[in-house]
């Protein structure tokens, strides 16, 4: 039984029989028969009369003789709609009679006569009659073949028979198929032959048949043809539209030939796509393939010549950015075929071109204008119905990096020659808008090529050594072009819009010492009919404000972090004590992190606020980290003294000294001055351990920033007994390294020449050896020129204190020894260094490599961020061995600045840095990222970086980091600054969207707040929130490949299994799982499972499961096998619609098992929407609207089971306003 649980089904062959033929047993009305035959033998055949069966195009498909009684019989007639025409000698004219043949049935029609009366010829207005003769039928040699054509249409498009029937038989389309021959294409030669049939009604003989073809009021044909009444005419000469052929018998009446009243029939003509190449004339346009008489099909294949547009007309050579010319060259190819029935196939409709933006090659795309739909039905009465629309299709979106300028910019404050490099990083976007109507000779294309440079956030620079300048290059340049080409019949138009602009501004800040310096590097715009230029010059603050340039922070927070052995952490930042005053009053503030309460203490000021302070550093020291030290740079000038010195940076920095303050376990002691001379001291770094602390900074020995080979690294150790710093030792990596003690310097010794700066250090105590080791990393430049790079590298010094616990006062230290960690790449700087906590002979190093701007290895002082590198350095029997590599993300080098490398108590290493790249729109302006160390073969490498911040509309900079030695949790601090211009400022600022198991707190509440993140030392497998399906809305029973994509966002490797469940998160039934295995920190993973579609709603989700998971908030990805994406309304068009109507064009979503659309209408986007129609085709003509009114539409798709998709976005349009004029009538 079929209702049994185990009902068996079997497949059997079956045959569908063709419908049975029908028959016509008809009768001509007796009064239409000549009187001479009415009394004759009724069954005898009258050789002067017959009846013809005409198909929908007027072609004869059967002929039957007529008896004297007017009877006729036709057998084996296929079902369908026909007309019967009586031909021959009759007493009265007989009209065409419509009949419908039903399979297996006999119909019995009567052909009645019609009453003749005096009429007027519709062509010339002359009086006429049908007293002597009438035309019985008109046929054409080349006409569509009725029902037979539906098979051809079906081969082109399964929906074509239905559409053809709707088009050709429905009176709503304002014509009847018996009144036309089919559809012809204008401009394509078809030498057609029109044949007329006659009815003779009197003794006056028919001498000819007059053929007239009238188009738009003009007679294109007016000929008389004798029997068999055939006239030839090239219908390709007819313009698009509805035209008529008139056929009238010409009889000999006495001595005159008299034209009888005509029979008329429509000739429907639509424009051919080939007319796009000849839009200015209506002359014949013959195709080599043209019309095939054997098949009754037109074929066309035309290539339109390419148009080329450029803005500006010639390549540019703007200052610093070079060529910003944009070029769009576009041509088109159109090919396909059309049958006389109206079924058409567009086999090729494409735009091909060449696009350059900002002087760079973007792409040479070929775009299919058909949107994947190659079948259509031609409607000559509504040619706009066959329209292919593309709204904003992304043709290509390449990312281009290319150096546009490299050279000397200026001599900064007459101290340092600054070299500038501008790398044009184009995020190009090419969009195509197109409306292509092949049968209205219309091709409208609009190609919008837009290329905008990536806007970087602020950068921290190095060219002053003892003070870190900050710069922001605001590249608001744009290069775009928008050609609009409209090829319409007789009206080709080209509209061109475009601009090539370069607004490039440089802002330099000196941490409050000197006000912002603004420079207009390029400010030039060339648009259509616009050409403005401004000479490159410095800008005043007022001009900068008018341009919206970034005024810079009031203070540079420069956060620093330190951690104590018991888990306490210290945050030190620069804050403005008078945020509402005209001038900032910065001071150093300290806060402690309480591991018990998991909160920050209240801030304590540890410096004065009457001097400029910057670049604080901090550390804990002692066996339990019971004491802490903070050091910073301070300019010993009052605000008035600072103002008086103006821009004399040498004089100002001669008063920059190193200060420090100590936490004695209960309170912060008053600040003390460490240096006191006329040399510039700054950019300090510090580290402490159980045995003490070490401080290092950069010192400009002669106090003249213009000389660079005398800058050295000063190193001082904390004297725990005296609670002060020992006399410094000076390090220089020049001439194989030189170490000069303070005493030696006093005796006249000088460090070796060289530029030493960018110092970093680490210090760790190894209890098992009772030894404290200190390492110092610095950037060394042999020639002291910031604009050369091949001689710039990173050097490392190391030194040990032995027997620390035997004698709390350190024994005389061993000499500093130079570690030569080779091989290292050239052009490197800004090092960060960490000693391995578990291995005395292992050093972790990170640095940034600048790009070379010339063949000699030159670099730019102002440049985009370089490539982040790491190095694993180990001492072996044979010496120091180095393994160095750039940081990669999916195979691409990662760009960034200010790396911070940290070594944890368990040997794990973390690399925190500020990232610049296209990882996300916000990453392009600088965000904080983390890469976790991976130990392979005894060496440390780093996994792909994970974003720690994703601040919309803001950059994150000045990163600091420390590791909690108790929990090994990573604490990261940075400064969030809202951008006033640039790519990332396009979206309003929001709270940071955190990635991974990181908890953010705001340490300060200033305009540029300092934020802190805590990242646990765990794995954190996370899934993208949406499952990927290889089939969208597949039918019931289909198999869908469901994929969950994820990444380990934690700091440790994690074993991952992905489970798939039907239902909503938190419940459901598991359908399978995929065991991934071990996933390294930062590594991506994916899991795919085949799932069968069932009935009803089909929610499912995946969950990442791991024994080491720092956060469960990012473990789940969801999807729905039954979900249908909303359709897109691509156009609401009043131009191509009828009066008081709108043509709504939809795009079907990429989903399966869809049945149709629901279209809803309203009078405004916020007004209630009501159902307007349910349709199965993506076109709808909404009739009966108010002329000139605006209507809005939303759409849904529904499937074969009646399920509905979400609503599309509303799209509005105004119906065309027509004014109707009634003719005046004189009576």
703-760 tens-digit pLDDT: 888 888 889 999 999 998 889 999 999 998 887 667 777 677 766 677 778 889 999 9
**Are residues 597 and 514 located together in one domain of the fold?**
no
**Are residues 533 and 396 located together in one domain of the fold?**
yes
Residue 979 has what pLDDT?
Answer: 72
Residue 176 has what pLDDT?
Answer: 30
Residue 908 has what pLDDT?
Answer: 79
**Are residues 38 and 92 located together in one domain of the fold?**
yes
Domain annotation covers residue 206: no
**Are residues 1147 and 1091 located together in one domain of the fold?**
no
Residue 371 has what pLDDT?
Answer: 66
**Helix (H, G, I), strand (E, B), or coil: what is residue 986?**
helix
Domain annotation covers residue 189: no
Residue 956 has what pLDDT?
Answer: 87
Residue 284 has what pLDDT?
Answer: 35
Q: Which residues contact 701 (CB under 8 A, 6 or more apart)?
A: 679, 710, 711, 712, 750, 751
Q: Where residue 34 sits, what CATH number does that domain have? A: 2.60.40.1120
Q: Which residues contact 860 (CB under 8 A, 6 or more apart)?
A: 406, 419, 420, 421, 787, 850, 851, 853
Alpha-carbon distance of 1046 to 1060, in angstroms, equals 14
Phi-psi sector, 465: left (phi>0), alpha (psi -120 to 50), beta: left
Query: Residue 876 belongs to what domain range?
Result: 821-1007
Residue 147 has what pLDDT?
Answer: 39
* Strand ranges of the sheet holding 1099-1105, from the earlier edge strand across to the other edge: 1069-1079, 1054-1062, 1099-1105, 1116-1120
**Are residues 301 and 427 located together in one domain of the fold?**
yes
Domain annotation covers residue 661: yes
Domain annotation covers residue 463: yes
Give the residues of the chain that fall short of pLDDT 50: 1-7, 146-178, 277-288, 454-455, 489-492, 528-536, 981-994, 1218-1227
CA angle 161, 166, 168 (to 5 degrees): 90
Q: Where residue 1152 sits, what CATH number does that domain have? A: 2.60.40.10
Residue 994 has what pLDDT?
Answer: 37
Domain annotation covers residue 152: no
Buried-exposed string 90-108: b where 16+ CB fall within 10 A, e elsewhere: bbbbbbbbebebeeeeebe
**Are residues 943 and 991 located together in one domain of the fold?**
yes
Q: Which two tokens stand for residue 702?
A: 């002669």
**Cβ count near 36 (within 10 Å):** 12
* Secondary element (H or E) of residue 154: helix 147-156
Domain annotation covers residue 806: no
**Are residues 933 and 879 located together in one domain of the fold?**
yes
Alpha-carbon distance of 504 to 516, in angstroms, equals 16
Angle of the 160-169 helix axis to the 147-156 helix axis, nearest 10: 140
Domain annotation covers residue 1084: yes
**Are residues 938 and 996 located together in one domain of the fold?**
yes
Boundary residue ending a domain (678, 697, 729): 678
**Are residues 843 and 991 located together in one domain of the fold?**
yes
Backbone angles phi, psi at 643, to 5 degrees: -65, -40
For residue 1144, give the nearest of 1069, 1217, 1212 by alpha carbon: 1212
Boundary residue ending a domain (1100, 1120, 1140): 1120
Residue 111 has what pLDDT?
Answer: 92
Cβ pair 1126, 1149 in contact under 8 A: yes
**Are residues 392 and 505 located together in one domain of the fold?**
yes
Q: Which two tokens stand for residue 751?
A: 């460090």
Give residue-wise pLDDT tens across range 87-134.
999 989 998 888 888 888 899 999 998 876 667 888 888 889 888 999
**Are residues 873 and 826 located together in one domain of the fold?**
yes
**Are residues 959 and 1029 located together in one domain of the fold?**
no
Q: How many separate domains does the chain show?
A: 6
Residue 1172 has what pLDDT?
Answer: 92
Alpha-carbon distance of 957 to 1000, in angstroms, equals 15
Domain annotation covers residue 216: no
Residue 168 has what pLDDT?
Answer: 38
* pTM for this predicted structure: 0.65
Torsional sign, CA 695, 701, 703, 706:
negative
């Amino acid at each position: 039984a079929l209702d049994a649980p185990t009902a068996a089904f079997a497949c059997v062959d079956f045959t569908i029989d063709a419908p049975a033929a029908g028959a016509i047993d008809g009768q001509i009305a007796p009064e239409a028969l000549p009187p001479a035959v009415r009394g004759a033998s009724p069954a005898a055949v009258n050789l002067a009369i017959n009846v013809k069966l005409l198909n929908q195009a007027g072609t004869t498909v059967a002929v039957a003789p007529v008896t004297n009684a007017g009877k006729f019989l036709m057998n084996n007639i296929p079902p369908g709609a026909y007309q019967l025409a009586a031909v021959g000698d009759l007493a009265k004219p007989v009209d065409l009679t419509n009949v419908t043949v039903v399979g297996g049935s006999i119909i019995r029609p009567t052909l009645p006569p019609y009453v003749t009366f005096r009429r007027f010829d519709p062509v010339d207005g002359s009086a006429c009659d049908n007293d002597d003769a009438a035309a019985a039928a008109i046929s054409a040699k080349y006409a569509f073949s009725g029902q037979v054509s539906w098979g051809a249409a079906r081969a082109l498009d399964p929906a074509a028979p239905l559409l053809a029937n709707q088009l050709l038989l429905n009176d709503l389309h304002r014509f009847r198929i018996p009144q036309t021959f089919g559809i012809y294409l204008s401009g394509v030669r078809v030498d057609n032959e029109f044949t007329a049939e006659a009815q003779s009604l009197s003794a006056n003989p028919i001498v000819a048949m007059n053929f007239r073809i009238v188009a738009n009021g003009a007679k294109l044909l007016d000929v008389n043809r004798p029997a068999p009444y055939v006239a030839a005419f090239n219908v390709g000469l007819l313009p698009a539209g509805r035209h008529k052929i008139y056929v009238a018998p010409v009889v000999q009446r006495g001595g005159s030939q008299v034209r009888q009243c005509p029979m008329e029939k429509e000739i429907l003509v639509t424009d051919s796509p080939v007319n796009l190449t000849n839009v200015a004339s209506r002359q014949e346009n013959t195709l080599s393939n043209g019309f095939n008489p054997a098949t009754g099909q037109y074929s066309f294949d035309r290539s339109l010549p390419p148009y080329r547009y450029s803005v500006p007309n010639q390549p540019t050579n703007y200052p610093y950015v070079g060529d910003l010319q944009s070029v769009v060259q576009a041509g088109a190819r159109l090919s396909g075929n059309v049958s006389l029935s109206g079924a058409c196939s567009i086999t090729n409709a494409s735009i091909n071109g060449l696009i350059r933006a900002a002087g760079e090659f973007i792409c040479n795309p070929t775009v299919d204008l058909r949107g994947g739909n190659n079948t259509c039905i031609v409607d000559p009465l509504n040619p706009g119905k066959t329209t292919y629309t593309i709204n904003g299709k992304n043709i290509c979106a390449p990312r281009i990096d290319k150096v546009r300028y490299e050279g000397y910019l200026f001599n900064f404050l007459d101290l340092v020659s600054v070299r500038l490099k501008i790398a044009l990083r184009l995020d190009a976007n090419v969009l195509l808008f197109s409306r292509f109507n092949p049968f209205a000779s219309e091709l409208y294309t609009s190609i919008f090529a837009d290329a905008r440079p990536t806007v970087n956030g602020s950068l921290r620079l190095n060219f002053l050594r003892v003070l870190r300048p900050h710069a922001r290059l605001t590249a608001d340049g744009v290069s775009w072009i928008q050609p609009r080409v409209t090829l319409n019949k007789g009206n080709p138009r080209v509209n061109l819009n475009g601009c090539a602009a370069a607004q490039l501004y440089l802002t330099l800040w000196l941490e409050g010492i000197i006000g912002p310096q603004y420079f207009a590097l390029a400010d030039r715009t060339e648009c259509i009919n616009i050409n403005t230029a401004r000479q490159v010059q410095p800008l005043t603050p007022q001009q900068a404000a008018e341009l919206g340039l970034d005024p810079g922070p009031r203070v540079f927070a420069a956060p620093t972090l330190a951690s104590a052995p018991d888990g306490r952490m210290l945050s030190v930042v620069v804050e403005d004590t008078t945020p509402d005053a005209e001038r900032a009053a910065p001071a150093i503030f300290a806060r402690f992190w309480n591991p018990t309460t998991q909160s920050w203490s209240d801030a304590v000021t540890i410096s004065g606020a009457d001097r400029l302070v910057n670049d604080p550093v901090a550390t804990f020291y002692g066996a339990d980290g019971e004491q802490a030290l903070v050091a910073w740079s301070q300019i010993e000038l009052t605000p008035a003294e600072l103002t008086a010195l103006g821009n004399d940076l040498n004089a100002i920095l001669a008063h920059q000294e190193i200060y420090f303050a100590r936490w004695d376990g209960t309170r912060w002691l008053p600040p003390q001055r460490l240096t006191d001379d006329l040399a510039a001291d700054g950019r300090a770094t510090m580290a402490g351990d159980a045995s003490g602390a070490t401080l290092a900074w950069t010192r400009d020995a002669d106090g003249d920033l213009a000389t660079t080979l005398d800058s050295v690294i000063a190193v001082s150790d904390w004297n725990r007994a005296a609670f002060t710093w020992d006399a410094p030792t000076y390090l220089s990596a020049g001439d194989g390294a030189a170490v000069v003690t303070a005493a030696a310097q006093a005796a006249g010794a000088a460090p070796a020449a060289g530029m030493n700066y960018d110092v970093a250090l680490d210090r760790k105590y190894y209890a098992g050896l009772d030894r404290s080791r200190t390492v110092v990393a610095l950037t060394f430049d042999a020639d002291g020129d910031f604009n050369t790079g091949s001689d710039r590298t990173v050097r490392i010094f190391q030194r040990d204190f032995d027997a620390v616990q035997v004698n709390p006062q350190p024994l005389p230290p061993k000499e500093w020894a130079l570690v030569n960690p080779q091989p290292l790449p050239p052009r490197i700087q800004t090092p960060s260094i960490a000693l391995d906590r578990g291995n005395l002979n292992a050093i972790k190093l990170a640095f940034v490599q600048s790009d070379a701007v010339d063949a000699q290895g030159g670099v730019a002082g102002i440049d985009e961020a370089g490539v982040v590198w790491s190095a694993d350095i180990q001492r072996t029997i044979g010496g120091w061995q180095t393994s160095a590599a750039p940081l990669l993300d999916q195979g691409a080098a990662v760009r960034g600045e200010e790396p911070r490398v940290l070594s944890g108590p368990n040997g794990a290493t973390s690399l925190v840095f500020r990232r610049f790249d296209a990882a996300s729109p916000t990453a392009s302006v600088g965000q904080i990222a983390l890469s976790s160390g991976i130990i392979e073969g005894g060496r440390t490498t780093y996994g792909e970086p994970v974003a720690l911040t994703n601040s919309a509309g803001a950059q994150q900079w000045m990163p600091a980091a420390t590791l909690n030695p108790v929990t090994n949790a990573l604490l990261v601090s940075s400064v969030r600054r809202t951008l006033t211009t640039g790519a990332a400022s396009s979206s309003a600022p929001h709270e940071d969207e955190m990635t991974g198991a990181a908890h953010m707190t705001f340490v300060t509440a200033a305009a540029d707040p300092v934020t802190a993140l805590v990242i646990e030392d765990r794995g954190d497998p996370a899934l993208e929130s949406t499952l990927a399906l290889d089939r969208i809305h597949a039918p019931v029973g289909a198999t869908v490949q469901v994929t969950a994509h994820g990444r380990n966002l934690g700091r440790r490797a994690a074993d991952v299994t992905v489970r798939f469940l039907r239902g909503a998160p938190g419940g459901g039934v598991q359908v399978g799982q995929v065991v991934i295995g071990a996933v390294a920190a930062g590594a991506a993973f994916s899991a795919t499972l085949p799932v069968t579609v069932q009935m009803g709603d089909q929610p499912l989700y995946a969950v990442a499961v791991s024994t080491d998971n720092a956060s469960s908030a990012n473990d789940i990805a969801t999807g729905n096998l039954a979900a249908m994406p909303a359709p897109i309304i691509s156009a609401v068009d009043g131009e191509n619609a009828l009066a008081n109507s709108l043509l709504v064009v939809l795009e079907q979503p990429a989903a399966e098992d869809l049945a149709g659309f629901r279209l809803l209408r309203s009078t405004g986007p916020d007004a209630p929407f009501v159902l307007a129609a349910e349709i199965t085709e993506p076109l709808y003509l909404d009739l009966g609207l108010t002329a000139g009114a605006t209507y809005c539409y939303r759409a849904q798709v529904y499937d074969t089971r009646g399920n509905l998709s979400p609503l599309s976005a509303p799209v509005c349009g105004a119906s065309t306003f027509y004014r109707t004029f009634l003719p005046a009538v004189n009576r």
